[in-house]
Chain A
Amino acid sequence: MRPILMKGHERPLTFLKYNRDGDLLFSCAKDHTPTVWFADNGERLGTYRGHNGAVWSCDVSRDSMRLITGSADQTVKLWNVQTGAQLYTFNFGSPARSVDFSVGDKLAVITTDPFMELTSAIHVKRIARDPTEQTEESELVIKGPQGRINRAVWGPLNRTIVSAGEDAVIRIWDSETGKLLREADKESGHKKTITSLTKSADGSHFLTGSLDKSAKLWDTRSLTLIKTYVTERPVNAVAMSPLLDHVVLGGGQDASAVTTTDHRAGKFEAKFFDKILQEEIGGVKGHFGPINALAFNPDGKSFSSGGEDGYVRLHHFDPDYFNIKI
């Protein structure tokens, strides 16, 4: 396949997200400006100007009208996707790391980093249909985990919130009361910071990637460990194919390997694994730096990866990808 290279960001990519219809790709990077691209040919549609710090993550509503972005400038902003106009700004006491719309787009879960005296927290905000009615107040604030919470997403039917972060423990919280419902088992769980989390298309299971060079697949309701995928590199980003039973891991480079790197450029790869057999299917090389973001198009026929090099690479699969057998 011939990937499409999109160099719209000056700084490393942090997050990639496709909209529900699969025709738009939103990219967030450390350069303060989230960008939206057409997902078929990679043409840039527009940029959202307004943030003053690295943008760590974003989410788009199901109708592709609203974009929410979380940034290191301690704000979370709501945008009109079509015009690029800012609709509302939530202010926090510390950098906002992860944002996620609920099913129905009426609520959003936002995590903030530990900063000075503040510990990290998970905030739930109500999102009004009409931006003029938007209020700042939180429906719910959950505190508890030590260290940064890298990702928090809604569980099935918005009843739960799943969070994962620096303390390597996955937690499931009740979204109405804020009570801790479940914690992942310490022995079978990750040993180092969990960097990324992605849900399956139906929400029944999710995948977490960690700096301990592995990714683990969990059941959402019972938080039992289903599968583990092992790589040689710390995992920065994970994605699951909505169409086939494939899992993709994107990673960095171990500090110890830096001096022995061979000189060929473009060798950071996104590794494909069979979801059920846990075996490596292959790798897609090309990035000049560690891969920080991965996303699958909801139709499963293309995926994109964002790297430390500032490039977004959009890959449309060749027909023989769909016939891969182990």
Chain B
Amino acid sequence: MYGVVHFTTGSLNMPIDKSDPNPNQSKASKFRWGELEEDDNLDFLLPPKEVIGPDENGIKKVIEYKFNDEGNKVKITTTTRARKLAKARLNRRAVERRNWERFGDAVHEDVGSRLTMVSTEEIILERPRAPGMKAEEIKVPGDSLAQLSKGGAVLMVCRTCGKKGDHWTSKCPYKDLAAPVETFVDKPVASEASVAASGSGKGAYVPPSMRAGAERTAGSDMRRRNDENSVRVTNLSEDTREPDLLELFRPFGAVTRVYVAMDQKTGTSRGFSFVNFVNREDAQRAINKLNGYGYDNLILRVEWATPRAN
């Protein structure tokens, strides 16, 4: 059984004749435009229709030239793929059944009824992770961040233990240990270590990031938009959302956060968003590749997000 699936790859609106700098004008000037009655007369100016016959994949290309409404020469390439829907090795009975008459509710059905449609989307058997990688190999001991930049996964940050890439805060296996630096220490006696850093006297509040022994680097993944690895994306379409941008930016590297500015009243995007990467190089590559990229009919502007004033 053969089914024909048509794809039209669109028309290219541009003058075809490269040798002649003013193709339309020069050709038209050979005929006085007042004498031209129908557009068909000009058809012989066009190159003939080309048919590139079905190749081994069943793909046939038909290249036609015509004039569009504005009088520009237009090249239309139609790519058709004839797909074999099923190996036609049916046995005799099955072939007989093919010719059975319709019954029941299908009696008045015409062949082109819309009950049965081929999906417009190409659906693939999505692999859970890159084939070849076993589950054990993923758990590389040591810097979990490095392995994430390979997989392009979302960075999981835990605020309790500060470990990156392993689990979210609510799933922290160390949650009862509640990192000592987080607890608010009142009595200076118990907190000789914390007072030493501030030096501002007993009982003064010392923020966790300034206490002795506090992980300075842990602060960097606490910050959100005001980050060195933050990229601003503007000229977004109305219905672009976080998952769409995540999918778009993921190939460049691990993304920690995507934020799309929304208008509370209408629920649509305000047209800009921020994407935070783990690595600055990934962010740079994303900027290089995606700035000017056409997405959902708009040209994206992708640049470094200007750091906040403080």
Residue numbers of A with Cβ under 8 A of B are 1-8, 21-24, 33, 35, 37-49, 63-64, 82-84, 262-264, 269, 272, 280-286, 301-302, 313, 315-316, 318, 321, 324-326
Q: Does B87 contact A (CB under 8 A)?
A: yes
Q: A44-B109, A282-B126 are known contacts. Are A84 and B131 too (CB-CB below 8 A)?
A: no
Selecting from B41-49, B117-125, B229-237, the interface stretch reads: B117-125
A261 to chain B, nearest CB (A): 12
| Cβ distance B143 to chain A, nearest Cβ, rounded Å | 27
Cα A84 to Cα B105 in complex, Å, equals: 10
Select the residue from A23, A64, A284 with max chain B CB neighbours within 10 A.
Answer: A23
30 A–B contacts, CB within 8 A, in A order: A1-B122, A2-B119, A2-B121, A4-B117, A4-B118, A5-B117, A5-B119, A21-B94, A22-B94, A23-B97, A24-B97, A41-B3, A41-B86, A41-B116, A42-B116, A43-B111, A44-B102, A44-B115, A44-B116, A45-B97, A46-B100, A46-B106, A47-B106, A49-B104, A84-B103, A264-B243, A281-B127, A282-B125, A284-B124, A325-B131
Q: Are A38 and B104 in contact (CB under 8 A)?
A: no
Complex CA distance for A24 and B100, rounded to whole angstroms: 12
Most buried by A among B97, B118, B131: B97
Closest A-B pairs by Cβ, 8 of them? A47-B104, A40-B86, A46-B103, A84-B103, A23-B94, A282-B125, A42-B116, A46-B104
How many angstroms from the CA of A318 to the CA of B1 in the assembled complex? Answer: 16
Which of A45, A262, A318 has the most CB atoms of chain B within a 10 A radius of its CB?
A45
Q: Does B53 contact A (CB under 8 A)?
A: no
Nearest A residue to B91 via CB reads A21
How many Å from the CB of B224 to the closest CB on chain A? 21
Report yes or no: A284 in contact with B97, Cβ–Cβ below 8 A. Answer: no
Asked whether any CB of chain A lies closer than 8 Å to the CB of B171, the reply is no
Chain A residues in 8 Å Cβ range of B119:
2-5, 286, 313
Cβ of B189 under 8 Å from chain A: no
Whether B123 and A286, one on each chain, are in contact in the complex, defined by CB atoms closer than 8 angstroms, is: yes
For the complex, give the distance between the alpha carbons of A180 and B93 in Å: 40
CA distance A284 to B100 in the complex (A): 32
Residue B85 interfacial (CB < 8 Å): yes
> When each residue 77-118 of chain B gets 1 if its CB lies under 8 Å from chain A and 0 otherwise, what string results?
000000001110011011001101011111101010101111
Q: Decide: A23 near B98, CB < 8 A? Known: A4-B118, A316-B86, A324-B131.
A: yes
Asked if B124 and A1 sit within 8 Å, CB to CB, the answer is: yes
Q: How far is the CA of A111 from the CA of B155 in the complex (A)?
A: 51
Chain B residues near A42 (CB-CB < 8 A): 116
Residue with the greatest number of chain A CB neighbours at <10 A, chosen from B5, B128, B243? B128
Cβ contacts under 8 Å, A38 to chain B? 98
Which B residues are closer than 8 A to A by beta carbons?
A: 1, 3, 5, 85-87, 90-91, 93-94, 97-98, 100, 102-107, 109, 111, 113, 115-119, 121-128, 131-132, 241, 243
Contact B125 A324 (CB under 8 A): yes
Contact B85 A285 (CB under 8 A): no
List 18 other contacts, CB 8 Å, given A23-B90, A284-B126. Answer: A1-B122, A7-B115, A33-B104, A40-B86, A41-B1, A41-B85, A46-B102, A46-B103, A49-B105, A64-B97, A264-B243, A282-B125, A282-B126, A284-B125, A286-B119, A315-B123, A318-B124, A326-B131
CB pair B106–A45 under 8 Å, yes or no, is: yes
Q: How far is the CB of B107 from chain A (nearest CB, A)?
A: 8
Q: Which residues of A contact B103 (CB under 8 A)?
A: 45-47, 82-84
CA distance A21 to B86 in the complex (A): 13
Chain B residues with CB under 8 A of A39? 86
Inter-chain contact A262/B85, CB cutoff 8 Å: no
Chain B: CB-nearest residue to A286: B123
Which one of B109, B115, B123 contacts A284 once the chains associate, using CB atoms below 8 Å? Answer: B123
Measured CB to CB, the nearest residue on chain B to A302 is B86
Write the chain B residue with the least CB distance to A271: B128
Taking a contact as CB atoms under 8 Å apart, the answer to whether A321 and B125 are in contact is yes
Q: Is B102's CB under 8 angstroms from A6's CB?
A: no
Residue in contact with A280 in the complex, picked from B86, B123, B128, CB distance below 8 Å: B128
Partner of A40, one of B1, B102, B115: B1
Closest partner residue, chain A, to B107 (CB atom) = A46
Q: How far is A33 from B3 in the complex, measured between Cα atoms in Å? A: 28
A280 proximity list for chain B (CB < 8 A): 128
Contacts of A4 in B (CB 8 A): 116-119
Shortest beta-carbon distance, B216 to chain A, in Å? Answer: 35
Bound form: Cα–Cα A313–B118 in Å? 9
